[in-house]
Chains A and B, each alone.
Chain A
Amino acid sequence: QSALTQPASVSGSPGQSITISCTGTSSDVGNYNLVSWYQQHPGKAPKLMIYENSKRPSGVSIRFSGSKSGNTASLTISGLQAEDEADYHCCSYAGSSSWVFGGGTRLTVL
């Protein structure tokens, strides 16, 4: 049950696009189409932004998109806004009713 690998931090200017990667193994990310992404503002609960690799829950901005290739999933945020500044966590199914999260990425909007 090793954690998925995410960059500790990323940054971008308003209006730009950024991508956060999430690297796992062939036992988790690479084996299932069940990667989710969560946004978490300081002191708040996580909020689902992407599920099943690339699906967006209702109410989530179309500026958020997800993808997966091999053992790596990615979250892209386009048209960065100040309110996007938060921590982002990826999570993948790892089989047999087990799940694994990444270490989290701090997004700074410059």
Chain B
Amino acid sequence: QVQLVESGGGVVQPGRSLRLSCAASGFTLSSHGMYWVRQAPGKGLEWVAFIWYDGSEKNYADSVRGRFTISRDNSKNTLYLQMNSLRAEDTAVYYCGRDKGRGTYYDTYGMDVCGQGTTVTVSS
């Protein structure tokens, strides 16, 4: 069945970096746009980043643009989120999610499946 498994979370000091991974199985990763979404403690969901099926287009929330980078390796069935210059307000559970389509402007539908999440805590 479709499965997404996030890893790489942990406790990190402000200003440091962390890379999250999302291992995909049960479907062809290269056919789908992919998301990173986060949820701070006690808060709602926040869209973080999105990448097209082939990695040719990416976009970011204003809150992370210039600090976070989304990427993918379809040959390894893995999605990544490189997080630099981390701040206390980046503390959250990070979920990766799949788009029903390829994620392009005319083939995107929203997140239909997501993983169980990985927790990132930014604290000194």
Task: List chain A positions with a Cβ less than 8 A from chain B.
Answer: 1, 3, 34-36, 38, 40, 45-46, 48, 51-52, 57, 87, 89, 91, 93, 96-104
Answer whether residue B100 sits at the interface, using C-beta atoms and an 8 A cutoff: yes
Contacts of B81 in A (CB 8 A): none
A97 close to B52 (CB less than 8 A) = yes
CB contact under 8 A between A3 and B44, given known A45-B114, A97-B58, A98-B50: yes
Stretch at the interface among B7-15, B22-30, B104-112: B104-112
Separation of A97 and B103 alpha carbons in the complex (Å) = 8
CB distance from B110 to the nearest CB of A (A): 4
**A to B contact number (C-beta, < 8 Å):** 73
CB pair A34–B108 under 8 Å, yes or no, is: yes
| Given A97-B57, A99-B35; A89-B44 close (CB under 8 Å) | yes
Q: Is the CB of B111 within 8 A of A103?
A: no
Cα of A38 to Cα of B109 in the assembled complex, Å: 14
Name A52's contact: one of B43, B52, B110 (CB within 8 Å).
Answer: B110
Whether the Cβ atoms of A99 and B47 lie closer than 8 Å is yes
Residue ID in chain A nearest B58 by CB atoms: A97
Cβ contacts under 8 Å, A40 to chain B: 45
Contact A51 B110 (CB under 8 A): yes
Taking a contact as CB atoms under 8 Å apart, the answer to whether A97 and B116 are in contact is no
Contact yes or no, B112 A46, CB < 8 A: no
Give me 25 A-to-B residue pairs in the complex whose CB atoms sit less than 8 angstroms apart, sorted by A's number: A34-B109, A34-B110, A35-B110, A36-B110, A38-B45, A45-B95, A46-B45, A46-B114, A48-B110, A48-B111, A51-B110, A93-B108, A93-B110, A96-B59, A97-B33, A98-B47, A98-B59, A99-B35, A99-B47, A101-B37, A101-B45, A102-B44, A103-B44, A104-B43, A104-B44
Instruction: List A contacts of B114 (CB < 8 A).
Output: 45-46
Query: Within the complex, what minimum Cβ distance (angstroms) separates A89 from chain B?
Result: 5
